[in-house]
Amino acid sequence: MSHDSHVETRAVSHGEEPAPETGRGDVVSPIHLASTFALPALDTGLSLEDVDPARGEFLYSRLSNPTRHAVEQRLAALEGGTHGFAFSSGTAAINTALLATVEPGDHVVAFDDLYAGTRRMLEELFVKRLNVEVSFVDATDTGNVEAAIREDTRLVWMETPTNPLMKLCDIGAIASVAHEHGALLGVDNTFMSPLCQRPLALGADLVAHSTTKYLNGHSDSVGGALVTDCDELAESLGFLQQVALGNMLAPFDSYLLLRGTKTLPVRMRQHEANARRIAEYLEDHEQVSRVLYPGLESHPQYDLAREQQTGFGGVLSFELDGDIDDVVAFLGNLEQFTLAVSLGGVESLIECPAAMTHEPIPREEREAVGITDTLIRVSVGIEHVEDLLADLDRGFAAVDATHQSPSP
């Protein structure tokens, strides 16, 4: 299939070849569970490089597996890259990206508002154990990234929008700055999915995903992905994934991801339509002090969002005008939104970052960046939006009820 086809078409079928053993071929890829594959004969000249999954050749499933190969092809096609890799988690993908690009003594510039797990990975593993230096900067201003870049900077690592503050950074401008200084740019595109943002087309060298989120989309599989169009980088990533770390995605999860990506375009459209309605509803609500959603004109980087994104996604945050007891009452009375970490599934999830995902960060640090006790993050699902709005009404009514003076 051509890379020129539309994203909706690539999402449905790219990477899945009909299997000849079932007459005219399976319409969907079977799940290949085999850990090893029979060779036709002993070929004394056989080397790993001779085995080509693109020709339907497989040797051992850690190296390559037909189901994983199919999904890796599709992930690459969706992000507009030439090499795709599927991992056992988003964390494994990011860890592999870092190991492929930096060595002890190197310097990394990273957004100071990264996913907490990535920040901990950088601090606890790369800084403390692997002697890599990391400068965390407010990348909403590209000038801060440029000021932090040094001669030994090998990698710039970004997320946009960030979690849960929905801050953006300018991928194209940061790519130019990184490249001028001989550094690579990696972007974690989990929040947007390739439907809403294509970092490679904007100049990034590497894109990472927690496929656990939108790409799989059904909250039933943990996985990760990397996509690049750089052959040299792909070689390092392949070595780490298949030889040194063995942190690849298993066949069953590869199948789930392959299946999930088919509906990504339709899901994303519904996530976004619902998120927009909810963001507007919250913006008008007297019990809400601020709403953070890049699709609202009130977002401080709305213009950048319109420029570099092709959609606004389904995650938003808002601040309840009250205290932590109000948050407890609000969350405790919702019936449709599930109180849970994670995001990007078809069902609506809600969480309080200060008490859940970002609880390990000291309070002063949290509050200094704007993660207050009453900040609530929502991953808007694809349910009927009127049911979601009715549920939020229920939550706000419960907060009101706690403020009524007890009857005499």
Q: Which residues are catalytic?
A: 62, 115, 188, 213
Q: How far is the CB of 90 from ligand PLP (least distance, A)?
A: 2
Q: What is the largest CA-CA distance in the chain?
A: 92
Give the binding range for ligand PLP (CB under 6 A) out of 13-21, 63-71, 188-196, 249-257. 188-196
Q: What is d(CA 398, CA 405) in angstroms, rounded to the nearest whole number?
A: 13
Q: How far is the CB of 56 from ligand PLP (least distance, A)?
A: 30
Q: What is d(CA 291, CA 284) in angstroms, rounded to the nearest whole number?
A: 10
- Do residues 392 and 281 lie in contact, with contact meaning Cβ atoms separated by under 8 Å? yes
C-alpha closest to that of 181 among 152, 201, 139:
152
Residue 216 near ligand PLP by CB under 6 A: no
Contact residue for ligand PLP among 72, 79, 170, 188 (CB under 6 A): 188
Q: Which is nearer to ligand PLP, 16 or 205 (CB)?
A: 205
Q: Which is nearer to ligand PLP, 16 or 253 (CB)?
A: 253
C-alpha closest to that of 215 among 188, 178, 190:
190
C-alpha closest to that of 358 among 343, 349, 371:
371
Q: What is d(CA 207, CA 158) in angstroms, rounded to the nearest whole number?
A: 10
Contact residue for ligand PLP among 140, 190, 216, 309 (CB under 6 A): 190
C-alpha closest to that of 116 among 408, 303, 392, 351:
351
Q: Which is nearer to ligand PLP, 217 or 224 (CB)?
A: 224
Q: How far is the CB of 224 from ligand PLP (least distance, A)?
A: 5
Residues in the chain: 408
Which letter does DSSP use for residue 36 in this model?
B
C-alpha closest to that of 218 among 333, 126, 343:
343
Residue 159 near ligand PLP by CB under 6 A: yes
Q: How far is the CB of 175 from ligand PLP (least distance, A)?
A: 19
Show the binding pattern over residues 82-101: x = contacts ligand PLP (CB under 6 A), - = does not.
Answer: -------xxx----------
| Total residues binding ligand PLP (CB under 6 A) | 15
**Residue 228 bridge partners (DSSP):** 83, 206
Q: Which is nearer to ligand PLP, 371 or 399 (CB)?
A: 371
Residue 248 near ligand PLP by CB under 6 A: no
Strands of 128-248 (E only): list them.
Answer: 133-137, 153-159, 184-188, 206-210, 224-228
Contact residue for ligand PLP among 187, 215, 222, 382 (CB under 6 A): 222
Q: How far is the CB of 356 from ligand PLP (least distance, A)?
A: 11
| Residues near ligand PLP (CB under 6 A) | 89-91, 115, 117-118, 159, 163, 188, 190-191, 210, 212, 222, 224
